[in-house]
Every structure is written in C-alpha cells, then in structure tokens.
Amino acid sequence: MTEETSVSNEGIVGLDEPKKMTREDWRKKKELEEQRKLGNAPAEVDEEGKDINPHIPQYISSVPWYVDPTKRPTLKHQRPQAENQKQFSSIGEWYKRGVQETEVVTKFRKGACENCGAMTHKKKDCMERPRKVGAKYTGTAIAPDEHAQVQLDMDYDGKRDRWNGYDPEEHQRIVEEYAKVDLAKRTLKAQKLQDELASGKLDPTEREHDSEDEDEDKYADDIDMPGQNFDSKRRITVRNLRIREDTAKYLRNLDLNSAYYDPKTRAMRENPYSNTGMNPDEVGYAGDNFVRYSGDTITMAQTQLFAWEAYERGSEVHLQADPTKLELLHRSFKVKKEDFKEKQSESILEKYGGQEHLDAPPRELLLAQTEDYVEYSRHGAVLKGLEKAVARSKYEEDVLINNHTCIWGSYWKDGFWGYKCCHSMVKQSYCTGEAGIGTNNTDCVPFEEVLTEPQEEEQPKSLLDMHRDKMKEKKKKKKTKKNKKHDADSSDSEDEEKKKEKLKKALEAEDKRVKHVEAIMQLDERKRPYNSLQEVKAPTEEEIEAFRMKRSRPDDPMASFLGQ
C-alpha cells in the first residue's frame, strides 16, 4: 500500500519525497550521529567535498524542501548566496577631486553651457565669471567638462575605514621634505665644523665630545621623566604611590562636612582642619590649594589671561602653540604699559603739580623708625606680629573726672547730653552715683540752657501761606466793605505801591547777588569760599519775579544789547 501511494505521488508531484524511516533505520542513524560526534566515524561530506560539523544542530543543518529537493547533506543554504549579494564598491575606490576626464574642446557643442561651453551644466548653474560674450557665440576659451562623480556604495568596512581615499604619496612627500631639511641641517653643521677646525677655534677632542652629546640626545627617550617611572620600550606608565608612613588625606578629619577628597586623583584641595578652628600654621597639612598660589602658577595664569585678551583683539598667539612668541609679546606689553603709566602720571603732575608730596619719605621714617615684623595672610588677617594700631584723635579719650565712671556724652535725654553713671546733665559736675539716677532731675535746667537764652527766630512764610493770608484778607475786605468802592480802590492802590516797593528792593538784591556770583566765578576753584553754612529760605514772590526779570535769555534776539 505504501509503495503504490509513493509511486502515485511521484507520478503526480514529480518530486522525490522522503520515505518513511523504520524504527531500525532511525536507530542506526542516531548511532551514526553519536559516533561522528565522538570522532569514531568520519564526518558527513557535502557536494563540494567539505566536512559537515556533526555538532551543528538539526534545525541548522536540515535543508528546506524549496532549496534542495534532493535532501543531500549540505550547508550551502547557510552561506551567502552569490545571486542575492549586493555589489559594493571596492575598498580602494573613492571620489575624484578636480579630475578632467576629457580633453579641452575647441568648438562649441550643442546643449553645452552658453557661458563657458562645458557639457556638464547649464548657464544658470555655471560657476564661472559671466562673460560679456558667451562661448556659444565666440566658440573660444571653452571650459573643460567637470568630472561626473559616481555615487559610491560602501560596505560596512568601507564606511568605517578612516583612511579610505587617502593618498599614500601625500605622506611620502612629507617624509621626503623632512629628509631634505635634515640633510640640509647636517650639511650646514658639517660645514660649520670644518670652518671652525680650519680657523682653529675648535679642538678635535671637543668635536668628539659634541658627537657623544648628539648620541645621548638621540636616546633621550630612555631617560625617566620626573613624576613617572616607565620603560621607554614598552611605554607602561606607573603612577607614583604615596609613602606608606604618611597619613592619608581622608584620615586627617573624619567629619562628613570636612574638605572633599577625590579618590581618583588623590587630591584634597581645601583645608581639612578649616571647621575645627585650628591655627593653619600649626597644621601639618592645609590642603592642595597652596600649589595654585605658589611658584609660577600665578605668572602662568596672567600669561594665559593676556593670551586670551590678545586673541580677542586680533593677535594670533597661543600659550601652548607659541609660548616664546607669547612671552616676548607679554614682556613688550608690560614695558609699554609701564611707560604709558609714567607718561600719564608725569602729564598729571605737570598740569596740577604735587611732586613734592610724592617725594616725601614714608610716614614710618617721618614719625619714628620701627622694626615691627608683621605677616599677613592672603585675606588680610594678621598671622604673626602685632596689628597696626588705630590712629587716635588729638583730644583726650577715656579720661574720667570728678569720680565719674563714664565720660561726658555717654547719656542722652530730651535733647541734652550727660553722664550715664549718674544721669547728670551738668558738665564737669561731681558724680552722685545711684542717688543721682534716682533723683528726678527733669525739673533741673542744664547749665548750657541757663547761659544761652533761646532766641526765637521768625520763620519765613512760604508762597502758599502768603497766598492764603492774602485771600483771607480779600474775603474780609469784600464782606466788610461791599458798599465802599472808593475805599477798596484806595486799598488796592496801596497794595500795588507796596508790591512795587518790594519788587524794587528784590531787584536791587538780585543785582547784588548776580555781581557776587560773577566775582566768585572769576576766582580760582581752590580759593572759593565755603558757603554751605549760609541760611537758606524759601524765595518770596518778589524775589522770584526779580530773578525772572534779571536772568539772561540766550534765545532773546535783543540779549546782546542788554549791556549797552
């Protein structure tokens, strides 16, 4: 029954379907696979004669029915298929730059650029200078065709090749250039030695010594650098470790709020004892920040700052690229800056004077010589020695008289000074102590008050008050003298006469003030009197009117005729 079905299937489908394996065949197949895995039986061979690894899983080694219907043992289906592979550009291909593929054409061609005559672009895309008469009409000076770049399709390795497109001849030209420079140096040095030997300036023994120094310079890479210990052949750097007898920085202060310790660089910049209140001079370790302010660190920072400022102003200098150039430029800048300061100070002294004050000896030599030694910290605090004494006034201070325990002026009450110890308001009185404090001395009149009688001064009225008084007077006059018009006229005339008199006085006072101001303005600045103690009052209406009448108006066309 199985044979008939298989034959009928072969006739219908036309494919060799696998026959159903019996139990014995299955067992023999498994035994053969085990023997192949153990190496006792030869490995299975594909159609190309290559051995198939027996340890490959079945789902990898089994061939799908649509790939190989014959079911022959093979791994061809696991390899890339040649017909399905994408064709990539070779690793040596690259874009061509500025290559002229064709020869220069001498005749204009149809469809070419009307401006330059090239076939690879049109007139609107032409990058050449617009000609007065294009190549289409002249037929001369036809530009060559540009190279049409081919789009390269690189594979995975080609896209990541950093040297793809590099011309090795470029490096060879650099090597040859350095070789020529080296040869020229050797030639000049040999010629210089020959000239020195011929003139007798150089001894042959010294020449041998110089050659030995040159040999030492050649092997300078073998010398250990300071701060590192490495083998120049293998270049294996070894970081210097701290001495084991030293206390680790992070163990000096175990407080969590102490200075930060960086374990990677083994650096602790701040002082670990800053929050303990210890004297920095008595501490064995005060942080790594002192290195930032010692040696040439400050000079280097100033040079770097100068390099940045010079670069912003157009000077092409760099601290690492041109250190010598930057140093010379910085020195010349400092010299010019000092010269400019000296010229500026000299010009100021010539204009205003005062050279005698600059030439005076210091105050220490004028008052008394001193040998006091004082050390200051970076923040201005005194580290060693006595701090400079504060200058005292010429008046006696802290002098207690008449059994007083406080000085005069230590107590203030109701606008008068007194002694705090006894609340006495009388200067140079005898101290009464607690009894004087208990006594109610508010009725006592101070000594200064008895001597000086208060002088009542009339406060000048403001314009608003004067206006209000005037309006009140007018209202009163209107109420009382409604029927007496001639009396009102006479009072108005009297007011006008008074106003005229006041205005006349104000004009005279304004003339005096203007003359006084002109006289003061003609004096030297340093000789003008100090007028801040003069009494200042609000101006009256007449004074304001006089000022308006007397003030100069530059925009007035008749201003130039006022003096005439």
- Give 204's pLDDT tier (boundaries 50, 70, 90): low
- Looking at the fold, whether 144 and 247 belong to one and the same domain comes out as no
C-alpha to C-alpha distance for 200 and 113, rounded to whole angstroms: 74
C-alpha to C-alpha distance for 179 and 460, rounded to whole angstroms: 102
Residue type, 73: P
- Average pLDDT value for residue range 485-493: 62
8 Å CB contact between 227 and 240: yes
DSSP string, 282-306: G-S---SGGGGGSTTHHHHHHHHHH
C-alpha to C-alpha distance for 165 and 95, rounded to whole angstroms: 7
SS3 435: helix
Question: Tens of pLDDT along 4-43?
Answer: 444 444 444 444 555 678 999 999 989 999 999 998 999 9
* Domain count across the chain: 6
Does residue 391 sit within a domain?
no
C-alpha to C-alpha distance for 60 and 64, rounded to whole angstroms: 10
More confident residue, 461 or 176: 176
8 Å CB contact between 548 and 510: no
For the record, the structure tokens of 527 come out as 């000789």
C-alpha to C-alpha distance for 422 and 431, rounded to whole angstroms: 6
Question: Tens of pLDDT along 225-275?
Answer: 444 444 544 444 445 566 667 788 888 888 888 888 888 888 888 888 887
Nearest alpha carbon to residue 249 among 286, 280, 276: 286
Find the DSSP H helices in 102-259. Answer: 135-138, 156-159, 168-199, 204-218
Show the 3-state SS of 438-493: HCCCCCCCCHHHHHCCCCCCCCCCCHHHHHHHHHHHHHHHHHHCCCCHHHHHHHHH
| pLDDT recorded at residue 242 | 61
Residue type, 122: K
pTM of the predicted model over 0.85: no
- Looking at the fold, whether 250 and 331 belong to one and the same domain comes out as no
Does residue 457 sit within a domain?
no
Positive or negative: CA dihedral 526, 528, 530, 531? negative
- Average pLDDT value for residue range 480-496: 66
- Looking at the fold, whether 304 and 251 belong to one and the same domain comes out as no
Strands (E), 480-558: none
Does residue 143 sit within a domain?
yes
SS3 371: coil
- Looking at the fold, whether 188 and 249 belong to one and the same domain comes out as yes
- Looking at the fold, whether 180 and 283 belong to one and the same domain comes out as yes
Given a cut of 50, is residue 182 above it in pLDDT? yes
Does residue 235 sit within a domain?
yes
- Looking at the fold, whether 282 and 223 belong to one and the same domain comes out as yes
* Domain end residue (candidates: 25, 58, 84): 84
C-alpha to C-alpha distance for 232 and 218, rounded to whole angstroms: 13
- Looking at the fold, whether 179 and 283 belong to one and the same domain comes out as yes
SS3 187: helix
Domain range holding 335? 297-347
SS3 514: helix
Residue 134 DSSP symbol: -
C-alpha to C-alpha distance for 303 and 118, rounded to whole angstroms: 56
8 Å CB contact between 487 and 477: no
**Residues present in the chain in total:** 564
- Looking at the fold, whether 246 and 279 belong to one and the same domain comes out as yes
Nearest alpha carbon to residue 117 among 147, 137, 96, 97: 137
Does residue 369 sit within a domain?
no
For the record, the structure tokens of 79 come out as 């390899």
| pLDDT recorded at residue 99 | 61
- Looking at the fold, whether 417 and 523 belong to one and the same domain comes out as no
- Looking at the fold, whether 50 and 77 belong to one and the same domain comes out as yes
Does residue 356 sit within a domain?
no
* Domain end residue (candidates: 84, 116, 140): 84
C-alpha to C-alpha distance for 177 and 182, rounded to whole angstroms: 9
Of 15-24, 294-303, 457-466, give the range with the top mean pLDDT.
Answer: 294-303
- Looking at the fold, whether 215 and 314 belong to one and the same domain comes out as no
Beta pairing partners, 412: 417
Does residue 441 sit within a domain?
yes
- Looking at the fold, whether 146 and 196 belong to one and the same domain comes out as no
Residue 88 DSSP symbol: P
Beta pairing partners, 277: none
SS3 506: helix
Given a cut of 60, is residue 186 above it in pLDDT? yes
More confident residue, 441 or 273: 273
Does residue 43 sit within a domain?
yes
- What angle do helix axes 168-199 and 204-218 make, rounded to 10 degrees? 160
What separation in angstroms does the CA of 57 have from each of 49, 52, 70, 75, 535?
Answer: 20, 11, 20, 12, 116
* Domain end residue (candidates: 260, 287, 314): 287
For the record, the structure tokens of 453 come out as 């009688």
What separation in angstroms does the CA of 319 have from each of 160, 165, 315, 559?
Answer: 35, 35, 12, 67
Residue type, 91: I
| pLDDT recorded at residue 183 | 95
SS3 52: strand
Task: Give the H or E element holding residue 32.
Answer: helix 23-38
- Give 481's pLDDT tier (boundaries 50, 70, 90): low
SS3 314: coil
Which positions ≥6 away from 37 have C-beta within 8 Å?
54, 55
| pLDDT recorded at residue 380 | 79
